[in-house]
Amino acid sequence: MAARGQGFVAELKGAVTPRAALLVIGVLLLQLGFIVSYVGALHQPAPHKLSIAVVAPPQVTPKLVQALESVPDEAVKPVTAPDAETATQQIRDQKIYAALVVNPTGTEDTLLVGGARGSSAAKAAETVTTALDKAQGRTVKVEDVVPLAKGDTNGLSAFYLVIGWCVGGYLVASILGISAGSKPANVHRLLIRLGVLALYSVGAGLGGTIIAGPVLDALPGSILALTGIGALVVFTVGAFTMALQCLFDVIGIGIAVLVFVVLGNPSAGGVYPAPMMPPFWRAIGSLIPNGAGTSATKSIAYFDSTNLAAPIVVLVVWALIGIGVAYLAVLRGPRSGGRELVAEPAES
């Protein structure tokens, strides 16, 4: 019996090496992290400092602002606007999420919303203002000043398009690493990989834009601009994944999944916009390529490319960090225990 037990242990060690066991444990942790992140970020949306402008006569405005400020849990961030036209433009410029326009000659007010920025935020604004007006014997009608495209019923097309771009970015970087060594043998080979990634990124950006736009009619907006954002998202994610592989070999792929899937996707503002998410996810969303890409894509598709600078800066910074880290890692030479393909010297 003892010999049989020892034989099983020997077979187990041969079948599952310590390194493989650690990788399996790492995969389990990633899987659990995936569940925690998605369920934690998306299971119970509630507004936090949702910006709603008040358009009302001067004698009424302070009372309405105070009423909105008194909504529990800092759900609303009230501001004022001089007229409905200004409030509408502020919604289109992504400065506010909604505006309550009070009718001084009647009992029915108007809530202006930008549905393309997030239907859940628009619904939350409607719930808050309806309760407020009901307490005063008034009613609210909703007017969507930035409606979703006909083929983008739930407003998720931009989010899923960016997810596709991100997946392509870290997969192509992973394939290049697996097929030819996690760390390029020299700077020239790194530049070649980055060049391949750049060409792939342009193709992926254009392909995704054509599918989401002309083919499926799911997303409006400039094909050229969306292609540019798509190419930048793919290249950014790919370059950063390359850097992680240069530093951590195959484990770098797992770290890329952690960053771009476990952290990046639920915080990207696709399912719920930032004011509807828990504090942690609200804080990191715009700082990760997924969220930056989603914001930029929505801006191009629905908001006349307003507020594009911040997400583009985020994407460029991540790309530069990826390139810089990979370059420094290659300059340091082979990592102990790492796998690297180097050309064999020709036989004489």
The candidate with the shortest Cα–Cα distance to 169, out of 223, 225, 231, is: 231
Picking from 47, 48, 64, the residue whose alpha carbon sits closest to that of residue 56 is: 64
Over the stretch 9-38, which tens digit does the pLDDT of each residue have? Answer: 666 666 667 777 887 888 899 889 989 998
Tell me which residue has tokens 């239907």: 119
Q: Where are the alpha helices (DSSP H) in the chain?
A: 2-15, 18-42, 61-69, 84-92, 119-135, 157-180, 187-210, 223-248, 251-257, 279-284, 289-302, 309-331
Residues 6+ apart with CB under 8 A from 120: 45, 271, 272, 273, 276
Distance CA 25, CA 31 (A): 10
Global confidence as pTM: 0.88
**pLDDT of the residue at 343:** 44
Q: Is the dihedral of CA 270, 273, 276, 282 positive or negative?
A: positive
265-312 pLDDT tens trace: 999 998 899 999 999 999 999 999 999 999 999 999 999 999 999 999
Place of tokens 């828990």: 278
For residues 140-168, average pLDDT: 95
Residue 347 pLDDT exceeds 60: no
Q: What would the mean pLDDT of 180-193 be, rounded to a whole number?
A: 89
Q: How far is CA 251 from the centre of its chain?
A: 23
Location of structure tokens 């240069």: 246
Confidence of residue 334 (pLDDT cuts 50, 70, 90): low
What is residue 316's predicted lDDT score, i.e. its pLDDT?
98
Tokens of 160: 């899923």
* Structure tokens given for 175: 């394939």
Pick from 1-10, 40-49, 95-104: least confident = 1-10
Of 62, 48, 140, nearest to 101 by C-alpha is 140
How do residues 227-280 score in pLDDT, each as one tens digit? 999 999 999 999 999 999 999 998 999 999 999 999 999 999 988 999 999 999
CA gap 332, 334 in Å, rounded? 7
| DSSP-assigned beta bridge partners for residue 14 | none
* β-strand partners of 52: 78, 98
Predicted confidence (pLDDT) per residue in 2-14, tens digit: 555 566 666 666 6
Among 200, 267, 287, CA closest to 239: 200
pLDDT > 80? residue 121: yes
Residue 11 CB burial class (10 angstroms; 0-12, 13-18, ≥19): exposed
- Give phi and psi for 136, each to the nearest 5: -105, 15
pLDDT for position 57? 94
Does 337 have pLDDT greater than 50? no
Average pLDDT over the chain reads 91
Q: What pLDDT sits at residue 185?
A: 83
Cα–chain center distance at 222: 20
* pLDDT tens digits, one per residue of 195-210: 999 999 999 999 999 9
Residue 79 has pLDDT above 60, yes or no: yes
Residue 330 has pLDDT above 90, yes or no: yes
Average confidence (pLDDT) over 215-229: 96
Overall average pLDDT of the 322-332 stretch: 95
221 SS3 class = coil
